[in-house]
Amino acid sequence: MEEVILEVMEEVMVEVMEEALVEMQFMLLFSRQGKLRLQKWYVPISDTQKKKIAREVIQMVLARKPKMCSFLEWRDLKIVYKRYASLYFCCAVEDQENELITLEIIHRYVELLDKYFGSVCELDIIFNFEKAYYILDEFILGGEAQETSKKNVLKAIEQADMLQEEAETPRSVLEEIGLT
Amino acid sequence: MPAVSKGDGMRGLAVFISDIRNCKSKEAEIKRINKELANIRSKFKGDKALDGYSKKKYVCKLLFIFLLGHDIDFGHMEAVNLLSSNKYTEKQIGYLFISVLVNSNSELIRLINNAIKNDLSSRNPTFMCLALHCIANVGSREMAEAFAGEIPRILVAGDTMDSVKQSAALCLLRLYKTSPDLVLMGEWTSRVVHLLNDQHMGVVTAAISLITCLSQKNPDEFKTCVSLAVSRLSRIVSSASTDLQDYTYYFVPAPWLSCKLLRLLQCYPPPEDGAVKGRLVECLETILNKAQEPPKSKKVQHSNAKNAILFEAISLIIHYDSEPNLLVRACNQLGQFLQHRETNLRYLALESMCTLASSEFSHEAVKTHIETVINALKTERDVSVRQRAADLLYAMCDRSNAKQIVAEMLSYLETADYSIREEMVLKVAILAEKYAVDYSWYVDTILNLIRIAGDYVSEEVWYRVIQIVINRDDVQGYAAKTVFEALQAPACHENMVKVGGYILGEFGNLIAGDPRSSPLVQFNLLHSKFHLCSVPTRALLLSAYIKFINLFPETKSTIQEVLRSDSQIRNSDVELQQRAVEYLKLSSIASTDVLATVLEEMPPFPERESSILAKLKKKKGPGAVSVNELEEGKREGGELNGGGERGGDNSAIAASNASTPSPSADLLGLRTGLPVSAAPPTAGSLLVDVFSEAGVNDDGFLRDLEPPTESSDSLLAEGPGDSDSTPPPPPSVVSEEPAPPLPESDELLNKFVCKNNGVLFENQLLQIGIKSEYRQNLGRMYLFYGNKTSVQFVTFTTTVTCPGELQSHLNVQAKPVEPLIEGGAQVQQVINIESLTDFFEAPLLNIKFRYGGALQNLTLKLPVTINKFFQPTEMASHDFFQRWKQLSQPQQEAQKIFKANHGMDTEVLKAKLLGLGMALLENVDPNPENFVCAGVIQSKAQQVGSLLRLEPNAQAQSGEQMYRLTVRSSKDTVSKRLCELLAEQF
């Protein structure tokens, strides 16, 4: 039942989409083996479409050789990507969008992850995927840069972590061990 | 910085993730997941109320499973429960789940909106930000309805924290993009614009995205942002690299904000205020200067950020297109990048130069880099960079360098990547045509194209070369010689055979004097390719053969032999068999004269837009030159289309034909009477109709040689019969009042909205056929009146009138028509139409004649509708939406929702929309089911741009197939009329 409703919803949203030209349409993080590690969509797209797009983009980017340029035309969009260690960071932006500044968006996000996790690696993102999403939300909202200062973004995340700790200290030691 | 493995760690989650990672196979993974899903389900359903922590953990697991690519159909309610938790992490996970697994269950939405509302009014900035992030991530209409009023208040309130302001600005932007009608800026406008002055750079960075979007849609209301943006930019550009503290990125001050400011300025023309403009030019100069300074850091991030600003500044300079000095400096800067060691910079420089090439100020400067670009095309290792180089060569091409560029592109084509060959072929074909000074070069180029990349040469390309050869008598001999030589190759591409067959069939006589290319040699050469060709090519060759029989009577017996062979006359393909049978018969029974008449050389093609250009426009990538520019170029080179001599200069043709030893020379006299388009049929030249028919018949693409006799059963072709030689009387000798329009005349009219040819009317006596063609604001219509009886129609008269106001909107002139139509015969009438301004009604056509003494009097509506004057306009998605938004006044839009009268076959719909005359834009509407079109209605007084969107809904609630049609035009009456006309079509 619910699925049907979902489908209807998607249609409605795609219809609404007509007016929406979003700077960044989606961001994907995936491994060299093509495993998707993080996906953020800034335009409403159905789940099946998302899967299809991700597959297509991942395949395309993985086929690129080093030294090739970091920009690709894909459908009406531009794909801007960069590889960091075992992970590819990849953004789809509007055709008019500035490619170089998008590359640096990627870099700033990597810096944020790195600073937060302390030399970030792929595993950090796998095991703390929700954190990776929170950091991204502080940095980019609705496909547009919200706060480009590294300090300010991390301050916001830090504050949230503080709230978290206050709330949870009493239970974590006892129950975590017993639970699994 | 807090290390990560602290209190928040949900061990259960970590263990689950490890388990999944340890799964050796996909099956094992699925098994593990199903086990977990079952476990979670039972926990959620269980009697024991779950505490917040467990709920959070399970919801997070579900989220993880979903992100792995599995479907999740439960857990929404638990996630919503988490929203109202006081514990931050629980709330946070709840929001994340909701943002990722958007759900439209209305009860859930109500609960979600409630939770958001509570958080927004909590005055706790962290909670407020979470709620705003959720709205921005989901961005649904329901959320817009609930919060679009509240968020602007949060955004401009004096006591709102900076971080909340930032989220509010982008949240509002998202809602504005999804539901612009719900976000009313009105009273907030000026305060939002002034956020550009905010002390907090982060607030400015977020707010400027919102302001840019609003400015695009309401430029006037937001125009005060220009001077604010300039002064902000100026402050950043002139600041020392450390002034902006954490907003300095690798020694570059505020690169993101700078780019966004430069982008905002691109929504507006250059500032009118001299001081502001001066300041801006200064900024742009500073940015260009900085590009020359030695880098402050070796890191690529430094140069990327610096160059990002530089490219954005260059975009603005190109956008203004008014500062020659800056344009040339930009071009020189890009020139340096062309040889940079960074592939990214080379790519971007090529791309950016493409737009510079179209500015009159910098075109020459761009051209100086031709060698570097050619080199890039040859040596770049990355196909996307090569593609850019090819685009740039195309953009910088003009008369002075066309030969060099075309030669380079041709040689590149031999090794080009398959993915870009077709586009390259189109580009070469267009450049060759556009800049041809001598046509032999053009013919050589196209034949080379077929030789090198025959598979990628589309029909449009080879149709075009034939159109041009037919229209240019000075190149026909050369073309014949060249195709003859090209066909000598043992293996030649089928497209070459097609062109060769066609050209030799028409102009083989021009080279037949040389014994090396005598008629029989020509025929044997063509026929040696026959067996290797596909059916359509064979059909074309058969037509060429019958043309040979006419051109060279000495080949008649050989060719008849071939036609008579079982493999032709009993061919299993109906088309081939029919051609063989008919041509054989024709060649054996028709007299030389009739044969010569039927198989006369093709008349020149009417001038029209190159179909190749249309095709390229369809394919148009971002690197392509703007359509306008191409069209301008085409006008410049228009003589190639042979337009100047349409139907004229027959003496020249005659002379050139006479100078050749053509056996058909005795027929030349007929050619002088050949009116290709205009002139009413001259009495006495009984063959004229056949030929003007042939001229009209062609629908833009060359079909084939179709001897008109073949179609003599068709209504629209008048065979060489006996036609009356009395001069037509003036059409106004009428005593009776014209009858009122037939009741079905509107319906008949509607049949022709999306097509130009067909049968307009038919009863037991009379059949009226129509052919029409339109260009710009002019149209020409051919009416064919067929007498279906065996008795004469006498005093046959027709009158075309424009009732009422229409007279001042449309100028319609009908040529006189024969007053007598023999039984079974057909007469033709030409009507010229000029659209003066947009119009509603259709002209009336009254027909009167006597049949066996009884007066027949009937009135029809002439199918001249406003859409006939459409000029299709291709545009990219972005442009389309921009224009769509510009036409947002309520009266500019007309909309209709209606039931489908016919099936919803996509191809049929497409064909209809194309017939409408607008450009059907692919990949514009995010919903592939929908259709969008763009076009400009031409009239003498004005041009009216129109955009159309058709949304089929195959399963509307009523269970019926429905359409929603929306038309926006710069003129309200046009939208309305188009909408009315179209609603009857689907």
Q: Do B6 and A17 touch (CB under 8 A)?
A: no
pLDDT at A33 over 50: yes
Mean pLDDT of A86-109: 94
Amino acid B46: pLDDT: 79
Confidence of residue B641 (pLDDT cuts 50, 70, 90): very low
- Confidence band (pLDDT; 50, 70, 90) for B104? low
Axis crossing angle, helix B324-337 with helix B300-320, rounded to the nearest 10 = 150
CB contact under 8 A, B308 and A100: yes
Q: Check whether B463 has a pLDDT greater than 90.
A: no
CA B481 to CA B517: how far, in whole Å?
9
The answer to whether residues B869 and B981 touch, using CB atoms and an 8 Å cutoff, is: no
| Residue among B220, B918, B972, B883 at smallest CA distance from A18 | B883
The tokens describing B358, both together, are: 């179209």
Contacts of A176 in chain B (CB under 8 A): 9, 11
* pLDDT value, residue B910: 83
pLDDT digits (tens, 9 = 90+) for B434-443: 888 788 898 8
Contact B651, B671 (CB under 8 A): no
Contacts of A2 in chain B (CB under 8 A): 73, 103, 105
CB spacing of B93 vs A130 below 8 angstroms: yes
Across the interface, do A98 and B53 touch by the CB < 8 Å criterion?
no
Across B696-717, average pLDDT: 35
Shortest CA distance to B156 belongs to which of B118, B197, B119?
Answer: B197
Mutate to test the interface with A, among B21, B124, B133 (most CBs of A within 10 A): B133
**What tokens were used for A47?**
């789940």
Whether B874 shows a pLDDT value over 50: the answer reads yes
Residues A20-52: b if buried by 16+ CB within 10 A, e if exposed: bbbbbbbbbbbbeeeebbbbbbbbbbebeebee
CB contact under 8 A, A101 and B308: yes
The pLDDT assigned to B385 comes to 92
Number of domains composing chain A: 1
Burial (Cβ within 10 Å: 0-12, 13-18, ≥19) of residue B764:
exposed
Q: What is the DSSP letter of A146?
A: S
Give the integer Cα–Cα distance in Å for B933 and B174.
Answer: 26
Q: Among all residues of chain A, which has the CA nearest to that of B138?
A: A44
Collapse the DSSP code of B860 into the 3-class scheme (helix H, G, I; strand E, B; otherwise coil) and give the result: strand
d(CA A144, nearest CA chain B) in Å? 7
Please tell me the distance from the alpha carbon of residue B768 to that of residue B784, in angstroms, as a whole number.
5
Q: Dihedral sign, CA of B913, B918, B921, B925?
A: negative
Asked if residue A176 belongs to a domain, the reply is no
> B495 versus B955: which is more confidently predicted?
B495
- A157 located within any domain: yes
Cα–Cα dist B601/B470, whole Å: 9
To the nearest 10°, the Cα dihedral for B64, B66, B68, B70?
140
Q: A20-29, B573-582, B710-719 — which one is most confidently predicted on average? A: B573-582
Q: What percent of chain B has pLDDT over 90?
A: 30
Chain A hits for B8, CB-CB cut-off 8 Å, are 161, 164-165, 168
Task: Calculate how close chain B gets to A59, using CA atoms only, in Å.
Answer: 16
Confidence class for position B407, pLDDT limits 50, 70, 90: very high
Q: SS3 of B867, please?
A: helix
Crossing angle of the two packed helices A150-179 and B52-67, in degrees rounded to 10? 110
What local confidence, expressed as pLDDT, does residue B626 receive?
A: 39
Considering only CB atoms, B304 lies closest to which of A21, A75, A100, namely A100
Residue A141, min C-alpha distance to chain B (Å): 6
Tokens of B605: 């093609």
Chain A residue with CA closest to B304: the answer is A100
> With bands split at pLDDT 50, 70 and 90, how would you rate the model's confidence at B956?
low
- From residue B437, give the alpha-carbon distance in Å to each of B310, B442, B509: 40, 8, 25
Q: What per-residue confidence (pLDDT) applies to A37?
A: 93
Nearest CB among A51, A71, A149 relative to B347 is that of: A71
DSSP per-residue letters across B916-946:
HTSEEETT-SSSTT-EEEEEEEE-SS-EEEE
Asked if B372 contacts B335 with a C-beta cutoff of 8 angstroms, the reply is yes
| Choice among B306-310, B549-553, B710-714, B949-953 with the minimum mean pLDDT | B710-714
CB-CB neighbours of B34 under 10 Å: 12
Task: Answer yes or no: do A104 and B308 touch at CB < 8 A.
Answer: yes
Q: What are the binding residues of B? A: 11-12, 43, 53, 57-61
Q: If residue B895 lies in a helix (H) or strand (E), which one and from where to where? A: strand B893-899
Q: Do A101 and B167 touch (CB under 8 A)?
A: no
Contact B53 A19 (CB under 8 A): no
Within a domain: residue A92? yes
Q: Provide the CATH number for the domain around residue A133.
A: 3.30.450.60
Give me the helix-helix angle, B343-356 and B370-379, nearest 10°: 130
Confidence label for B222 from pLDDT (cuts 50, 70 and 90) = very high
Contact call for residues B121 and B127 (beta carbons, < 8 A): no
> Worst-scoring range by mean pLDDT, A7-16, A148-157, B142-151, B879-888?
A7-16
pLDDT at residue number B613: 74
Residues from chain B that touch A130, judged by Cβ atoms under 8 A, are: 60, 63, 92-93, 96
Query: By residue range, what is the domain housing residue A36?
Result: 1-169
**DSSP string for residues in B54-94:** HHHHHHHHHHHHHHTT----S-HHHHHHHHT-SSHHHHHHH
The CA-atom distances, in angstroms, between B251 and each of A21, A23, B664, B794 are 31, 25, 82, 92
Q: How confident is the model at residue B957 (pLDDT cuts 50, 70, 90)?
A: low
Q: Quick one: how far is CA B635 from the chain centroid?
A: 20
| A177 within domain boundaries | no
In the predicted structure, residue B165 carries a pLDDT above the cut 90: yes
Q: What is the pLDDT of residue B720?
A: 37
Please give, rounded to a whole number of angstroms, the shortest distance from the CA of B433 to a CA of chain A. 29
| HSE of B190, CA atoms in CB hemisphere, 13 A | 1
Q: Is the dihedral of CA B504, B508, B514, B519 positive or negative?
A: positive
Give the residue from B474, B405, B476, B473 showing the smallest Cα distance to B434: B405
**Stretch B255-281: mean pLDDT:** 94
pLDDT tens profile A62-89: 999 888 999 998 888 999 999 998 999 9
For residue A129, list chain B residues with Cβ-Cβ distance below 8 A: 64, 67
Residues of chain B contacting residue A159, judged by C-beta atoms under 8 Å apart? 126
- Is it the case that residue B652 has pLDDT exceeding 60? no
Interface test with A, best of B76, B164, B384, B955 (most A CBs within 10 A): B384
Any domain includes A148: yes
Q: What is the average per-residue pLDDT within A119-131?
A: 90
Position with higher pLDDT, B385 vs B244: B385
- Tell me which chain A residue has its CA closest to the CA of residue B95: A134
In contact, B297 and B252? CB cutoff 8 Å: no
In tens, the pLDDT along B720-773 reads 333 333 333 334 334 467 888 888 888 888 888 888 888 888 888 888 888 888
pLDDT at B634: 39
Q: pLDDT tens digits for B659-687? A: 333 333 222 223 333 333 333 333 333 22
> Does residue A40 fall inside a structural domain?
yes
At B504-527, the pLDDT tens digits run 999 998 998 888 889 989 999 999
CB contact under 8 A, B384 and A159: no
B75: left (phi over 0), alpha (psi -120 to 50) or beta: left
Asked if the Cβ–Cβ distance from A152 to B311 is below 8 Å, we say no
pLDDT in tens, B895-912: 888 888 777 788 888 888
Of the candidate ranges B286-295, B572-581, B893-902, the one whose mean pLDDT is the lowest: B893-902
Contact A133 B64 (CB under 8 A): no
Contact A134 B103 (CB under 8 A): no
Closest residue on chain A to B348 (Cα): A99
Mean pLDDT of B975-979: 86
**Per-residue confidence band for B701, with pLDDT thresholds at 50, 70 and 90:** very low
Place of tokens 């005795």: B666
How would you classify residue B69: left for phi > 0, otherwise alpha for psi between -120 and 50, otherwise beta?
Answer: left
Widest CA span in chain B: 106
